[in-house]
Amino acid sequence: MAECRAVVDGTPLLGRRTGIGRYTDSLVRALAATFPVDVSVLGLTLRGWPRLRADAPPGTRVTGFPVPARALRRCWARGAFPPVEMLARPADVVHGTNFVLPPAVRTPGVVTVHDLAFLDAPEELPPAERELPELVRRSAHRAAVVCTPTAAVGAEVCERFRVPRSKIAVTPLGVDPEWFDAVPPDERLRSRHGLPEEYLVFVGADGPRKNLTGLLRALDPRLPPLVVAGPGASSPRERVVRTGYLPDEELRRIVAGARALVLPSREEGFGLPALEALACGTPVVCSDVAALREVTGGHATLFPSGDGAALRDALGEVLTRSADPGSVAARREHAAGFSWKACAEATLDAYRRAL
């Protein structure tokens, strides 16, 4: 018998998977497969709803009906209607996996707040997301428990939303097992994407928070070319290879073959690409922000965020080191401490606290 019935926002499962989509998929799979949780996936969307049955992880059920997401968010930014009880089957707990917790009449709620970067740069939000700061603030106060991927984000939520520390549950993300077996690309994959023999790699979408522009400015002809793996602008630039969105298997191989993964973000909530690179033994160079320090645990080369000269120096330092089997093993061992089962177990504990 299931310990609890959980309705989980599965909207991030639809379309090409972003980091939050991968989090939602991996969390729900682990909950349904490992723990006594009856998981129902709710799609808060009109156009994408028909695909949800195909995209929902095994062992879960789909609940609800097509609803216009923008209209829902406008309502929830101003009040508590419609409640989740009108949108989904009865449950013991509802989990907003993507910053926003649906209001409820009586069902206790848990919300995952991945980061608070949008508070510092609201002008960078697309028009459809302009109400996000108020939605997240309301969600954090409405929730019985607020899950954050790192203690760093948890502390920010407490400070900036005046949420009691007792409401925070740190639920670190996990690493897919396939990352530990990833091997560098073969000639066929190199040819398909025009990969050079030696390269640095950046993984993620092209946006201000990720600071890809700062990385491009910091590139030096003495450094290997840069491979940008992820969606974004495709304007040509010398010594920069853009692969676009990649299948998981290709992404793992490209990261495994890189001289270093570079994550120059001005802010991060977790930094999963850094942890995945450590899992396949690839050196990591990342900005010295709280969440990345926490997640990489001393196994990355850090530089002050936004300092291009320091970034070049950090890359030069990593590239001049000889390959050390001990360092590779230490990176892998550190990454092995993060699993989706552990993330699901911490999340289930959050459900119990909410109940």
Single pTM value for the model = 0.93
Q: How many CB atoms lie within 10 A of CB 280?
A: 25
Q: What is the pLDDT of residues 123-171, one digit of tens each?
A: 777 777 888 899 999 999 999 999 999 999 999 999 999 999 999 999 9
Q: What is the pLDDT of residues 267-285, one digit of tens each?
A: 999 999 999 999 999 999 9
Does residue 236 register a pLDDT over 80? no
Domains of the chain (ranges; CATH) run 4-174+340-354 (3.40.50.2000), 177-335 (3.40.50.2000)
Q: What is the pLDDT of residues 83-130, one digit of tens each?
A: 999 999 999 999 999 999 999 999 999 999 999 988 887 777 777 788
Q: What is the pLDDT of residue 322?
A: 63
238 backbone dihedrals φ, ψ, rounded to 5°: -65, 135
Mean pLDDT of the region 14-27: 89
Does residue 20 register a pLDDT over 60? yes
3-class secondary structure per residue, the chain: CCCEEEEEECHHHCCCCCHHHHHHHHHHHHHHHHCCEEEEEECCCCCCHHHHHHHCCCCCEEECCCCCHHHHHHHHCCCCCCCHHHCCCCCCEEEECCCCCCCCCCCCEEEECCCCHHHHCHHHCCHHHCCHHHHHHHHHHHCCEEEECCHHHHHHHHHHHCCCHHHEEECCCCCCHHHHHCCCCCHHHHHHHCCCCCCEEEECCCCHHHCHHHHHHHCCCCCCCEEEECCCCCCCCCCEEEEECCCHHHHHHHHHCCCEEEECCCCCCCCHHHHHHHHCCCCEEEECCHHHHHHHCCCCEEECCCCHHHHHHHHHHHHHCCCCHHHHHHHHHHHCCCCHHHHHHHHHHHHHHHC
Does residue 6 register a pLDDT over 90? yes
